[in-house]
Amino acid sequence: MLTVQDLSKSFGQIEAVKDVSFAVEKGESFGLLGPNGAGKSTTINMITGLFPPSSGAIQVKNIDVVKNPKQAQKLIGVVPQEIALYQEMSARENLKFWGRMYDLSGKELEKNVDEVLEIIGLRERAKDKVDTFSGGMKRRVNIGAAILHRPEMLIMDEPTVGIDPQSRNHILETVKRLNGEGMTIIYTSHYMEEVEYLCERLGIIDHGQLIACGTLKEIRETHGDHSRINVTVDTNAAMIDLIKTTLAKSFLEKDIQIKDYQISVLHKEPNTVLSELIQSVTNTGAKITSMEIVEPNLESVFLHLTGRNLRD
């Protein structure tokens, strides 16, 4: 369904994306992960034809996106990170407006709008203005606008940011259903559990490069042999830098993560270094208030590969 080959994009002297290559099969659900500024959105904007690549090739169902963007875009639905709706219009009016942008009209447009309202669970609120909706309901209409023309591939960029748990669950179930009916999904998220629930394969981007790609099992087996030791300390902000400097003498800097007053250290054999870690922290004068060892999971894989948590 999608082939990305040696894709690069520069903005002046900044290389946002560097030689990224991956493929997504028809009917597959593919997760694209990376810290903020890693190059995810730039990659998506090139796939959808919004940005021309500096080099490389993109094909959607064997259609060259650069040479034939309009033809390729007819196969794609996009759910942007920001709400793309007219607040003073009703849900139905918004969907009809976006449907016309896809050249839908007449009975076909009315039929597709009715079906989409059912899918997103807002049939009873169809005539209400969007500005009366909760954030989660707005995001559901956002998804509805993206699937009105029944695209073969749906690209979703952080579709559950800042919404209530009920709406989030509804969106996840909707995505699962669409994928089960054969729609290809490309999904970016800051929530690791969403990617684990929805996606069969995933790619991890950092500093503009694809640093891992495969099934969840493959990535865990290749990169996921590090457990995470979490230590919470009672100290002051000035002491945190000292703790990090002290730990760097015994552990790789990329395996040390400190956020607020929680220290995370990745290690293949956590039990063998636990006493050394405790000693290093307490020698700085900090008091340990809690500690846990988390077995290898996708979160620890991501931290090991990028040196950052997904939400950083």
Per-residue pLDDT band for 223 (boundaries 50, 70, 90) equals: low
Per-residue pLDDT band for 26 (boundaries 50, 70, 90) equals: very high
Distance of alpha carbon 47 from alpha carbon 63, whole angstroms:
11
Distance of alpha carbon 136 from alpha carbon 142, whole angstroms:
10
Q: Are 122 and 250 within one domain?
A: no
Q: Are 77 and 151 within one domain?
A: yes
- We report the CATH number of the domain holding residue 268 as 3.30.70.100
Residue 9 domain boundaries: 2-221
Specify if 300 maps to a domain: no
Question: Could you read off the pLDDT of 172-190 as tens digits, one per residue?
Answer: 999 999 999 999 999 998 7
Q: Are 179 and 92 within one domain?
A: yes
pLDDT at 10 over 70: yes
Q: Are 134 and 216 within one domain?
A: yes
- What pLDDT score does 160 carry? 87
Mean pLDDT of 17-28: 96
Helix (H, G, I), strand (E, B) or coil at 265: strand
Distance of alpha carbon 41 from alpha carbon 47, whole angstroms:
10
Last residue of one domain, picked from the residues 196, 221, 246: 221
Specify if 86 maps to a domain: yes
Specify if 312 maps to a domain: no
Question: Could you read off the pLDDT of 40-94 as tens digits, one per residue?
Answer: 989 999 999 999 999 999 999 999 999 999 999 999 999 998 889 999 999 999 9
Q: Are 156 and 243 within one domain?
A: no
Specify if 56 maps to a domain: yes
Specify if 151 maps to a domain: yes
Question: Could you read off the pLDDT of 248-282 as tens digits, one per residue?
Answer: 888 888 788 888 888 888 888 888 888 888 988 88
Residues 222 and 214: beta-carbon distance below 8 Å: yes
- What pLDDT score does 242 carry? 87
CA distances, 211 to each of 17, 40, 142, 231, 297 (Å): 12, 12, 31, 28, 17
Specify the number of domains making up the chain: 2
Q: Are 85 and 166 within one domain?
A: yes
Stronger pLDDT, 177 or 217, i.e. the higher one? 177
- We report the CATH number of the domain holding residue 151 as 3.40.50.300
Distance of alpha carbon 31 from alpha carbon 179, whole angstroms:
13
Per-residue pLDDT band for 222 (boundaries 50, 70, 90) equals: confident
- Counting Cα atoms < 13 Å in the Cβ hemisphere of 207 gives 5
Last residue of one domain, picked from the residues 192, 221, 250: 221
Q: Are 116 and 252 within one domain?
A: no
Which amino acid appears at position 59 of this protein?
Q
Question: Could you read off the pLDDT of 91-126 as tens digits, one per residue?
Answer: 999 999 999 999 999 999 999 999 999 999 999 999
Q: Are 194 and 265 within one domain?
A: no
Query: Tokens at residue 180, please?
Result: 């089960």
pLDDT at 226 over 60: yes
Q: Are 122 and 214 within one domain?
A: yes
Last residue of one domain, picked from the residues 221, 251, 273: 221
Q: Are 25 and 156 within one domain?
A: yes
Distance of alpha carbon 205 from alpha carbon 15, whole angstroms:
13
- Tokens 């290559």 identify what position? 21
Q: Are 164 and 231 within one domain?
A: no
Mean pLDDT of 277-300: 84
Helix (H, G, I), strand (E, B) or coil at 42: helix
Q: Are 213 and 236 within one domain?
A: no
